[in-house]
């Protein structure tokens, strides 16, 4: 049913501005070009987990990605947003994000309150962390993530 894994790369752009940071969960957004042209047609909206890299460099980073219309906010545009499971001191807008989505967690949902949305996302993060440490750890070596040959970039 889900055509996994699927892979995407693109520049990190500004999102809706209301901001995952407001929720305490920043998300690096892919551009409309990537959303409209690079997502395999068979991929349904929902929450996926997998591995990411920035600028083709190590280390591989655990991530969780939301694909869809964010029903809680009633967005009219589909978005693809990746939360990396680690703290960054600085923003990385403009950098190249690559992701390999290896597992599907759930469909996007609507919620009664922002607290419930945050709770659901925190649960997704814990499910992802565990799955990536256990059954899906080998995908962190996926060739798509790294420019190994180009030593000037490592
Ligand atoms: P926007 O609406 O512009 O996407 P967000 O509030 O979602 O704003 O913040 C996203 C930005 O925060 C990312 O583009 C990135 O530069 C930065 N950021 C910092 N830490 C993380 C993280 N752990 N995961 C994803 N993005 C992060
Ligand atoms: N938005 C929704 O409207 N419904 C969801 O079920 C939902 N789940 C998410 C799960 C994860 C792991 C992440 C990172 C985001 C999710 N979002 C969801 C998107 C969230 O509303 C969005 O990141 C913020 O609005 C900032 O753009
Ligand atoms: Mg965002």
Per-residue pLDDT tens over the stretch 53-68: 999 999 999 999 999 9
Please indicate, yes or no, if residue 63 is contained in any of the structural domains.
Answer: yes
pTM of the predicted protein model: 0.95
Please indicate, yes or no, if residue 64 is contained in any of the structural domains.
Answer: yes
Nearest-ligand number for the alpha carbon of 83: 1
Sorting pLDDT into bands at 50, 70 and 90, what band is 152?
low
User: Using CA positions, which residue lies closest to atom 19 of ligand 2?
Assistant: 70
User: Using CA positions, which residue lies closest to atom 1 of ligand 1?
Assistant: 15
Sorting pLDDT into bands at 50, 70 and 90, what band is 11?
very high
Which of 12, 19, 27, 75 should be mutated for ligand 1, with most atoms under 8 A from CB?
A: 27
Tokens of 53: 């890299």
Q: Residue 73 to residues 50, 96, 109: CA-CA distances in angstroms?
A: 25, 27, 10
Q: What's the CATH code of the domain at 47?
A: 2.40.30.30
Tokens of 41: 């047609």
Please indicate, yes or no, if residue 1 is contained in any of the structural domains.
Answer: no
Domains in the chain, number: 1
Phi-psi region of 17 (alpha: psi -120 to 50; beta: other; left: phi over 0): left
Please indicate, yes or no, if residue 91 is contained in any of the structural domains.
Answer: yes
Structure letter (DSSP) for residue 31:
P
Distance (Å, rounded) from C-alpha 78 to C-alpha 98?
A: 19
**What domain range includes position 124?**
6-145
Please indicate, yes or no, if residue 153 is contained in any of the structural domains.
Answer: no
């Amino acid at each position: 049913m889900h055509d996994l894994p699927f892979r995407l790369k693109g520049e990190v752009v500004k999102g809706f501005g209301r901001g995952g940071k407001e929720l305490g969960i920043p998300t690096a957004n892919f551009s409309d070009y990537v959303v409209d042209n690079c997502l395999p047609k068979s991929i349904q909206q929902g929450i996926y987990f997998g591995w990411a890299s920035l600028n083709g460099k190590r280390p591989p980073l655990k991530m969780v990605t939301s694909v869809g219309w964010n029903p809680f906010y009633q967005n009219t545009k589909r978005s693809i947003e990746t939360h990396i499971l680690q703290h960054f001191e600085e923003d990385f807008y403009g950098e190249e994000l690559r992701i390999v989505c290896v597992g599907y967690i759930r469909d996007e949902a609507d919620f009664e309150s922002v607290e419930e949305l945050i709770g659901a996302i925190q649960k997704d993060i814990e499910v992802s962390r565990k799955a990536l440490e256990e059954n899906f750890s080998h995908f962190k070596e996926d060739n798509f993530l790294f420019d190994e040959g180009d030593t000037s970039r490592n």
